Chain A
Amino acid sequence: SQTIHQWPATLVQPVGSPLSLECTVEGTSNPNLYWYRQAAGRGLQLLFYSVGIGQISSEVPQNLSASRPQDRQFILSSKKLLLSDSGFYLCAWRILGGRKGYEQYFGPGTRLTVT
């Protein structure tokens, strides 16, 4: 069965420091991958999505970037964190086709606090 991993689970970083969050999926190939951010007590904001290696689409202009160096690896980065970057970062995946082809599943998330 498919599983999705995110790390780290929790992160505290000072303003202006760099960021790298990693997401990996096991048990499947060629998934669509997504990064969401959830501010405290708020909804889910789609940040980036990827339909294949090296293919990244950005939804919200900001100081974050994403990369997909391997089929099942999705990385979220920043060169200089802002206070407003604090939040719960969720990676998600879906596999197109098949009976469950539309379902999207979330990873466990990374809780980022920028101080």
Chain B
Amino acid sequence: GENVEQHPSTLSVQEGDSAVIKCTYSDSASNYFPWYKQELGKRPQLIIDIRSNVGEKKDQRIAVTLNKTAKHFSLHITETQPEDSAVYFCAASRSDGGFKTIFGAGTRLFVKA
């Protein structure tokens, strides 16, 4: 079945440094790739997404890149701040058959002040 692998599972960075989280997906028909941020005890929040017809997208300090040929995509956070500390999930969706979204296992990001 469909699978999304996410690395690393834990990431610790110093405030101001960059953080990179990488994901690979198995379903070549996937065409939408969202990223969610989940703070402790709360619901996941959509922070950025990218569609398959785009290679890169940026929103202030966060950016996503997509390589459809290699079936991998990445989240880049620059100038990290303590409030960026959370669990980040990547996901892959295909816009047919109910538009299911399959999530990676998550990356726990710690930003040390």
Interface residues of A (CB under 8 A from B): 32, 34, 42-44, 46, 49-51, 57, 59, 90, 92, 94, 96, 102-109
Residues of B in contact (CB 8 Å), total 20
CB neighbours (8 Å) of A106 from chain B are 43-45
B104 contacts A104, C-beta separation under 8 Å: no
Given the interface contacts A104-B34, A104-B46, A106-B44, does A43 sit within 8 Å of B103 by beta carbon? yes
Whole-angstrom distance between the alpha carbons of A108 and B42 in the complex?
7
Whole-angstrom distance between the alpha carbons of A1 and B84 in the complex?
27
B32 contacts A102, C-beta separation under 8 Å: yes
A49 contacts B98, C-beta separation under 8 Å: yes
Given the interface contacts A49-B100, A57-B98, does A44 sit within 8 Å of B44 by beta carbon? yes
Given the interface contacts A43-B105, A44-B103, does A102 sit within 8 Å of B49 by beta carbon? yes
Given contacts A44-B103, A50-B98, A102-B93, 19 further A-B contacts (CB under 8 A): A34-B101, A42-B105, A42-B106, A43-B104, A46-B100, A46-B103, A49-B98, A49-B100, A51-B98, A57-B98, A96-B99, A102-B34, A103-B46, A103-B49, A104-B93, A104-B99, A106-B43, A106-B45, A108-B43
Residue B102 at the chain A interface, CB threshold 8 Å: yes
CB neighbours (8 Å) of B34 from chain A are 102-104
**CB neighbors of A among B29-63 (8 A):** 32, 34, 43-46, 49, 51
Can you pick out 24 interface pairs between chain A and chain B where the beta carbons lie within 8 Å of each other?
A32-B99, A34-B101, A42-B106, A43-B103, A43-B105, A43-B106, A49-B98, A49-B100, A51-B98, A57-B98, A59-B100, A90-B43, A90-B44, A92-B101, A96-B95, A96-B99, A102-B34, A102-B49, A102-B93, A102-B95, A102-B99, A104-B99, A106-B43, A108-B43
SS class of chain B's interface: helix, strand, loop or mixed?
Answer: strand
CB neighbours (8 Å) of B105 from chain A are 42-43
Whole-angstrom distance between the alpha carbons of A92 and B91 in the complex?
14
Whole-angstrom distance between the alpha carbons of A44 and B45 in the complex?
13
Interface residues of B (CB under 8 A from A): 32, 34, 43-46, 49, 51, 89, 93, 95, 98-106
Given the interface contacts A32-B98, A49-B98, A51-B98, does A105 sit within 8 Å of B103 by beta carbon? no
